[in-house]
Each structure stands twice: as C-alpha cells, then as structure tokens.
Amino acid sequence: MLILGIETSCDETAASLVEVRDKKIKVLSNVVSSQVKLHAKYGGVVPSLAAREHVKNLRPVLELALKTGNCKLETIDLIAVTAGPGLISSLLVGTAFAKTLAWKLNKPIIGANHTEGHIASNWLKSVGGISNFQFLISNKILGSTKRYTLNAKCSRLFPALCLVVSGGHTQLILMKGFGKYKTVGGTLDDAAGEAFDKIARILGLGYPGGPVISAAAEKAKAQNPKTKIKLPRPMINSKNLDFSFSGLKTAVLYLDMGLKKKLSKNKLPKNLISQIAAEAQRAIVDVLVSKTIKAARKYGAKSIMLSGGVSANKLLRSKLQKTAEQREVKYFQPSPEYTTDNAAMIALAGYFNYKSGHGDWEKVQVNANQGLY
C-alpha cells in the first residue's frame, strides 16, 4: 500500500510517501517546508501567517514529495492527513487540500492524530531504509544486539510508556498496542518545548528555543564557571505523573533580572547566558527523565518510547536512554529527521488506523484539541 501523508498542524508544511508491504515500511520521500524563519521575528508561531504559508506551500511540497519518491499521484492507495491536535487554521488548510485530492482522485482518506504520528515516528527509518516492523536494539547491558518485532501482539514491547514532548504537548502515554492509549500524565501549564521557547526568549537567544538553548549549553560546557547557577526542578518529587514548567520559566526571569541589577547591565554577558541556558536544559531534562521512569515503573512498562520536537534534544536522548537501559527497560527514540513535525509519521499513523476498506473524505473532521482515544 502506498500512503501519502500530509501534515500542516503547526508551522511545517509536509508531504511524504510511505510504502507498507508485507509488514515492511519504507519511506520513499519526506519533504518538510519549515516556516521557522518567518515566525522567528515574532518569537513564536503566528497562526494566520502559518495558514497562509500552508496554502502557498502545499502544492510545491507535494510535487517535490512525488518527484523525489518517484511516484505518480494516481498510484497512491491512501491519503493520511493530520486532523488534530494543532492550530485550527493550519489544520483546516491541510485537510481541505487532502480532501480535495481524495475527491478528485477517488482515493480513501483518513484523518490522523498528530500525537499518534509522533509516537509512530519511532517506527520510521531514513528515506530508502526499510523498517520491517522491527527495531534493532543494541542492548548494552547484555553486550549484544537484539531484534524485537514491533506489531500489535508484541508482548515484549507493550505496554510501552511514551513520552511525547513538543511545543504544544508534554504527555506520558501508556500504549498497550496500536490504537490503545491511555494518558497517564501531562503538563499542568507550559509544555516542555514551550518552556524551552519562553526561556530562550527571556535570555534573548531567539526562536525556536530548544536548538538555541542546546547550542548555548554546549558553549557553557567549555567554560569553567566560578558560581554555579541553580534552578528548580518543578514537581520532580511530586507523587503524581504531572509536570509544570511555568515556575521554571519564572525562576529564569527573576534570575535574569536579578543578575542584570547586580551587574548593572541591560544585557547579561554571553558566558552567563550560556550557563543559565545549560542549567535550564538540565532542569527540564531531569524532570522529564525522572517522571518517565516513575511512570514506566508504576505501569510495568516493557519499553520506553520518546517522541515529539523536544526529542531532538541530545541531553534528553542520552539521559533517558542511559536511565532506561540501567533499569533494563527497552528504549526507542526517533531518528533525528523524524523528531520535529513531518508527514511520514502521519502516513504511518494513518496506515495503522486504516481498518475499513474505504476512508470517507466527509468523515475527516478537524479537532484542534484532539486527544488520543
């Protein structure tokens, strides 16, 4: 089956062709047009601008996906489009485009859940690679490499504990199998990515926050600070599985203001900014890792799966992997190209949910707050 994925839930216009045959998954093309530069000057995504860009970009992005995937539009068997959660204006553009295609080509169409897409990104190999519904896991503890099959009946992987961390979401989801989800924890205020974005803004580092904070933290590594910056790890010891990041953002704001006053400066020196960024990154990662492990233990998870834009964070990737492996829990994370929004993950999530023989275009309804069923 050849699936065309279309993703426009936020500020990335994406189209991808994914082929699934005999339990083998192959990404034929994965095209993403990012609007990051456009929104950077506003310090965040402007919904009306994002929608206009999607209108402009969808056709060239689709054409490039077809060209690089060496496919004709007529050969597609299924269209999968993000129906939510996301920005309503962005979702409406993508779904209207996809529905029109489905109607014109007389092909089935299915609305995919963006969060489920992020989880599915763990199953994807780089363009041209084949996943075979399997993961190769290097098991450092046993000193060997094991192959685990990923399918709905796989008793060795499920229940899996999924940490989905993006600009809009910080969720701990217990996955019992494909389509079987239970949200067991989430943020009470800001999402982890949002915390990175807001802290970067306070520190004058730019947008999006995650990559610029990581880069600043790398610079801090090379320094040998005399005074250690210390920031709180909100709710790290709370009994529940929820998160709160707005207090951390406020702590950075007060620290920044206090240091500026103490040094009688309007702008902090670069080395100090890097140290604050490094500590903020450590604080966010510490909380995410601690709560994920707690949830995995509570629900007896056999594996931990990371996903969402923040899963690009190198410190989070290495710390969660190390901690999971120390506890002998299998660990998965998406390849870097599938960490941020893309349409390959949507194509695959759509495929997993495509059970009926025909996806009706009239049934695809957008929902900005769509949860996991």
* Beta carbon of residue 308, minimum distance to ligand KG4 (angstroms, whole number): 5
Residues 280/213, Cβ–Cβ less than 8 Å: yes
Place of tokens 């709560």: 291
Helices 246-263 and 192-202 meet at what angle, rounded to 10? 10
Partner from ligand KG4, Zn ion, none contacting 17, C-beta within 5 to 8 A by type:
none
Residue nearest to Zn ion (CB): 166
- State which residue, 131 or 214, has the beta carbon closest to ligand KG4: 214
Alpha-helix residue ranges (DSSP H) falling in 223-269: 246-263
Among ligand KG4, Zn ion, none, residue 312 binds (CB under 5-8 Å by kind): ligand KG4
CB 349 within 8 A of CB 116: yes
Other CB atoms within 10 Å distance of the CB of residue 173? 24
Strands (E), 170-223: 170-177, 180-186
Question: Least distance (Å) from ligand KG4 to the CB of residue 279?
Answer: 15
Point out which residues bind ligand KG4 (CB under 6 A): 10, 166-168, 193, 196-197, 208-211, 214, 308-310, 312-313, 340-341
Give the shortest CB-137-to-Zn ion separation in angstroms: 25
- CB 192, min distance to ligand KG4, A: 7
Query: Minimum Å distance from CB 211 to ligand KG4?
Result: 5
As measured in angstroms, the least distance from the Cβ of 86 to ligand KG4 is 7
At a CB cut-off of 8 Å and minimum separation 6, what does 76 contact? 2, 3, 4, 17, 105, 107
Identify which of residues 76 and 216 has a Cβ nearer to ligand KG4 in the complex.
216
Report how many helices (DSSP H) and strands (DSSP E) the chain contains, helices first: 10, 12
Nearest residue (CB) to ligand KG4, 209 versus 234:
209
Give residues in contact with Zn ion (CB under 5 A): 166, 341
Nearer residue to ligand KG4 within complex by CB, 185 or 209? 209
Which partner, Zn ion, ligand KG4, none, binds residue 211 by CB below 5 to 8 Å per kind? ligand KG4
Rg of the chain, C-alpha, whole Å: 21
Choose the one of ligand KG4, Zn ion, none that binds residue 313, judging by a C-beta under 5 to 8 angstroms depending on kind.
Answer: ligand KG4
CA neighbor of 59 nearest in space, from 9, 3, 13, 95: 13
Taking the C-alpha atoms of residue 352 and residue 43, their distance in angstroms, rounded to an integer, is 36
Closest to Zn ion by CB, 113 vs 166, is 166
Shorter beta-carbon distance to ligand KG4: residue 219 or 327:
219
